[in-house]
Amino acid sequence: MPTLCRPAVWVPEHTISMSETLELTRRVHADHAKLPLVLRLIANTGVEKRHLIQPLADTLEHPGFEARNRTYMEEARLRIPDVVRQALESADLAERDIDVIVFVSCTGFAMPPLTSWMINKMGFRNETRQIPIAQLGCAAGGAAVNRAHDFCRAYPGANALIVACEFCSLCYQPDDSDIGSLLSDGLFGDAIAAAVVRGSGGTGMRLERNASHVVPDTEDWIAYEVKETGFHFRLDRRVPGTMSVLAPALRTLADAHRWDVSELDFYIIHAGGPRILDDLCRYLDVPSEAFRHSRATLTDYGNIASAVVFDALGRQFDEGLPEGAQGLLAGFGPGITAETSLGTWGSRDGRAVPGRRISTAGKAED
């Protein structure tokens, strides 16, 4: 059974705090007609700090789409190798053991894809398959897990590498002043994540079933307008309410597997914002602490797009789980799309995965 192993996550050294974000918004958009609302929405995201691929002064400049995409390519090539090697080491594999690379990103563009560069420069076999995914936004983390799972089922014993590279700050548009754009300016952060899905063996989430769900007639609710200046993020105010539709889809997936989605042992959920997490808790009838790892990612890094689920999963590894624990991983994004998987926690030797002990309240204890 394919196993999603411990991920590796990297964030840049440059940071911006919530207080700095609010002060910047007050200064840059002092004449905005709805500034109090914008400030309240940003403050309510629960984000304390975000990491940026460039210093803040450089982030606020707009040298043009060409220059920004050049920065994306340079930084991706510089940072990806170390993150990938950490993920491979955690899975007890080497580059030559990988049969397919699933690469997800929505914040830069490359053709040929960065998977080709990785195969040429990092020691992967020339026969390694490539699955670049560029247009699923935040849902791409869940989609990457599902496509890796599908590949390993189609080719028993194969191993898949997932890489999520998101430099959301490179999409900052200083002239966009709609509420959705300003909220995103205070919500998104930068990160790279990598994880291995082993076709056999390994320690982590043993993937058992996956599904996709698209909410009808919502394809323009999360979108990019592509202009000369690059990607302009568009966010419809109705997006937070989509959990009323997506929660039943998650329940249907669990029901098909004869699991109760309200009684699982762990949940790895994309942290698009606190409203998303709060509503999903309510609709799935689970306590708030069930999503503690997703909330911690949001607090520490902001919304890091497709990398969120891997950071939240890494926090679950740190906490530990007993052998056989049942759980769900879900990413949400443009479409409106949900990419969801179910799995059982397991280790190579059949013992509990190391970590801190978990109390009955769902809090980690030393």
Residue 341's nearest CA partner among 163, 144, 207 is 207
Write down the residue that tokens 């606020």 correspond to: 60
User: Among the options 5, 106, 138, 171, which is catalytic?
Assistant: 138
Decide if 305 contacts 171 (C-beta within 8 A). no
Beta bridge partners of residue 218, listed in sequence order: 335
Q: Are 32 and 177 in contact, with CB atoms under 8 Å apart?
A: yes
Residue 138 is a catalytic residue: yes
For 131-163, give the DSSP string. EEE-S-GGGHHHHHHHHHHHHHHHSTT--EEEE
Give 355's DSSP letter.
S
| Phi then psi dihedrals of residue 132, to 5 deg | -85, 135
Cα–Cα distance, 187 to 210 (Å, whole number): 28
Say how far apart CA 137 and CA 305 lie, in whole Å.
6
The rounded Cα 258 to chain-centroid distance in angstroms is: 27
As a whole number of angstroms, the distance between CA 324 and CA 327 comes to: 10
Q: What are phi and psi of 122, to 5 degrees?
A: -115, 5
Contact 241, 251 (CB under 8 A): no
Do the beta carbons of residue 291 and residue 280 sit within 8 Å?
Answer: yes
Helix (H) or strand (E) holding 130, with range, is: strand 129-133
Per the listing, tokens 């950071």 go with 311
Q: Name the nearest CA neighbour of 90 among 2, 6, 197.
A: 6
Question: Could you tell me the sign of the dihedral formed by the alpha carbons of 273, 274, 277, 282, in that order?
Answer: negative
Instruction: Using CA atoms of 278, 284, 288, 291 in order, give the dihedral in degrees to the nearest 10.
Output: -90
Which amino acids are annotated catalytic?
138
